[in-house]
């Protein structure tokens, strides 16, 4: 749902959670909105406004392209959407059950943008519901995801709160990556960051991000990885980066690394299941090696300048 809001060019995204998302998960954005006439189809499976031509499949710039998120949600929770585009005079509100719009969308007050409200998650699937962790742990997971998207999309303001409470996460619109790392993680991390950027024409990838220098270390490796703007896991890459640091950090301690990797869309498997975040891509070993090599070079450079700085 966050990705839908980003696709809609929102500059502010507010997430509200009740009971770890089990009772309520609401995402409000100020994006382009959904046209009244499109309400009837947004929750049908494989309905997407993001694939206009078959060729687009080879060149997916938006997050969504399968039209499955809202459809799936409407089968396992109570889904309500309120939305207003800039061309409509008022907002419209509608409920969805099992992929189908219930009645006609009703006019209602509302600002431009969309509010997607998901209530009583897995109300009809007790087995799935029991598989979830405690509300506190689920909230923690939501908070991690929101924080990471806020760092990766620093121009967009993000808010996360439990209903009736103040925001736990609040990043302003038009912020910076480092500022959001400070807000979401800590100043301890933010002040030890070095930036990196590389481009490889042969392997056709770009990488940029921030990594902590050797003055920082932690018991836990915090690794934020976005591939083509989607939050994913890649154990291969994670291990290799940790290895780079092992030479420079005390034993059993780890860095903080935020890495945004852009790959040729055709080389990422677009058919990975949407709930599976572990990804594989073409030339993975070579790309991992190239990225890790560049990070090590950058780390050494920052290390030298640090030594120089402390001696001065």
- Footprint of ligand ADP on this chain (CB under 6 A)? 4-5, 8, 29, 31-34, 42, 47-50, 64-71, 114
26 interacts with, out of Mg ion, ligand ADP, none, CB within 5 to 8 A per kind: none
Question: Taking the complex as a whole, how short is the minimal distance between the CB of residue 123 and ligand ADP, in angstroms?
Answer: 20
Question: Taking the complex as a whole, how short is the minimal distance between the CB of residue 48 and Mg ion, in angstroms?
Answer: 7
42 interacts with, out of Mg ion, ligand ADP, none, CB within 5 to 8 A per kind: ligand ADP
Q: Do residues 25 and 14 touch, judged by C-beta distance below 8 A?
A: no
191 interacts with, out of Mg ion, ligand ADP, none, CB within 5 to 8 A per kind: none
Question: Taking the complex as a whole, how short is the minimal distance between the CB of residue 63 and Mg ion, in angstroms?
Answer: 6
Rank residues 11 and 49 by Cβ distance to Mg ion and give the closer one: 49
Q: Do residues 169 and 184 touch, judged by C-beta distance below 8 A?
A: yes
Question: Taking the complex as a whole, how short is the minimal distance between the CB of residue 116 and Mg ion, in angstroms?
Answer: 10
Cβ-count burial 263-285 (b if 16+ within 10 Å, e if not):
beeebbeeeeeeeeeebebebee
Question: Taking the complex as a whole, how short is the minimal distance between the CB of residue 104 and Mg ion, in angstroms?
Answer: 24
175 interacts with, out of Mg ion, ligand ADP, none, CB within 5 to 8 A per kind: none
Q: Contacts for 70-76 with beta carbons within 8 Å, 24 or more apart? A: 70/4, 70/42, 70/43, 70/96, 70/116, 71/43, 71/44, 71/45, 71/46, 71/47, 71/99, 73/118, 74/43, 74/98, 74/99, 74/100, 75/99, 76/121, 76/122, 76/123, 76/124, 76/125, 76/128
User: Any bridge partners for residue 94, and if so which?
Assistant: 81
> For residues 168 and 294, what is the distance between their CA atoms, to the nearest angstrom?
35
Rank residues 67 and 255 by Cβ distance to ligand ADP and give the closer one: 67
Give contact residues for Mg ion (rule: CB under 5 A): 4, 64, 69
> Residue 211 to residues 148, 258, 261: CA-CA distances in angstroms?
14, 6, 14
56 interacts with, out of Mg ion, ligand ADP, none, CB within 5 to 8 A per kind: none
Rank residues 150 and 183 by Cβ distance to ligand ADP and give the closer one: 150
- Minimal CB distance residue for Mg ion: 64
Question: Taking the complex as a whole, how short is the minimal distance between the CB of residue 187 and ligand ADP, in angstroms?
Answer: 33
Rank residues 114 and 228 by Cβ distance to ligand ADP and give the closer one: 114
């Amino acid at each position: 749902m966050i990705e839908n809001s980003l696709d809609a060019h929102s500059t502010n995204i507010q997430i509200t959670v009740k009971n770890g998302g089990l009772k309520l998960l609401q995402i409000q954005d100020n994006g382009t909105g959904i046209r009244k006439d499109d309400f009837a189809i947004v929750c049908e499976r494989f309905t997407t406004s993001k694939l206009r031509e078959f060729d687009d499949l080879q060149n997916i710039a938006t997050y969504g392209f399968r039209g499955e998120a809202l459809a799936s949600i409407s089968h396992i929770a109570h889904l309500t959407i309120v939305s207003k585009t800039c061309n409509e005079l008022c907002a419209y509100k509608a409920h969805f059950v099992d992929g189908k719009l219930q009645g006609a969308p009703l006019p209602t007050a509302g600002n431009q943008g969309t509010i997607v409200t998901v209530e009583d998650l897995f109300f009809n699937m007790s087995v799935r519901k029991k598989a979830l962790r405690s509300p506190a742990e689920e909230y923690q997971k939501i908070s991690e995801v929101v924080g990471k998207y806020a760092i990766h999309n620093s121009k967009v303001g993000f808010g996360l709160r439990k209903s009736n409470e103040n925001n736990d996460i609040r990043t302003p619109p038009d912020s910076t990556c480092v500022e959001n790392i400070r807000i979401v993680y800590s100043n301890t991390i933010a002040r030890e960051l070095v930036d990196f950027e590389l481009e490889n024409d042969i392997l056709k990838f770009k990488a940029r991000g921030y990594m902590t220098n050797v003055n920082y270390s932690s018991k836990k490796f915090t690794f934020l990885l976005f591939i083509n703007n989607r939050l994913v896991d890649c154990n291969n890459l994670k291990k290799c980066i940790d290895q780079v640091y092992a030479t420079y950090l005390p034993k059993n301690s780890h860095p903080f690394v935020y890495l945004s990797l852009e790959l040729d869309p055709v080389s990422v498997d677009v058919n990975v299941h949407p709930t599976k975040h572990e990804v594989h891509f073409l030339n993975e070993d070579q790309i991992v090696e190239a990225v890790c090599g560049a990070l090590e070079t950058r780390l050494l450079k920052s290390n030298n300048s640090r030594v120089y700085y402390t001696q001065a």
